[in-house]
Amino acid sequence: MSMLELKNIHKKYGSNEILKGVTFSLEKGETKVIIGPSGTGKSTLLRCINQLHPPDKGEVWLDGEEITNKNININRIRQKIGFVFQDFNLFNHLTALQNVSIGLEKVKKMEKEEAKKRAMQELRRVGLENQAEQYPAELSGGQKQRVGIARALAMDPMIILFDEPTSALDPELIGEVLEVMQGLAGKVTMLCVTHEMGFARNVADEIIFMEEGYVLEAGPPMKMFKNPDHKRTGEFLGKIATLYGENKEE
Ligand SMILES: Nc1ncnc2c1ncn2[C@@H]1O[C@H](COP(=O)(O)OP(=O)(O)OP(=O)(O)O)[C@@H](O)[C@H]1O
Ligand SMILES: [Mg+2]
Q: What separation in Å is there between the alpha carbon of 107 and the centre of ligand 1? A: 29
pLDDT given for residue 193 in this prediction: 98
CA of 86 to the centre of ligand 2 (A): 9
CB neighbour list of residue 89: distance below 8 Å, 6 or more residues apart: 148
What pLDDT score does 198 carry? 93
Residues of the chain where predicted confidence (pLDDT) is lower than 70: 245-250
pLDDT given at position 11: 98
Atom of ligand 1 nearest to the CA of 40: 21
Beta carbon of 166 within 6 Å of any ligand 1 atom: no
Q: What are residue 18's phi and psi, to 5 degrees?
A: -95, -55
- Output the pLDDT for position 241: 76
Q: Rounded to whole angstroms, how far apart are CA atoms 86 and 194?
A: 10
Q: What is the mean pLDDT of the chain?
A: 95
146 lines ligand 1 (CB under 6 A): no
Residues 6+ apart with CB under 8 A from 148: 84, 85, 88, 89, 90, 165
Nearest CA, atom 28, ligand 1: 39
247 within ligand 1 shell (Cβ under 6 A)? no
pLDDT of residue 242: 77
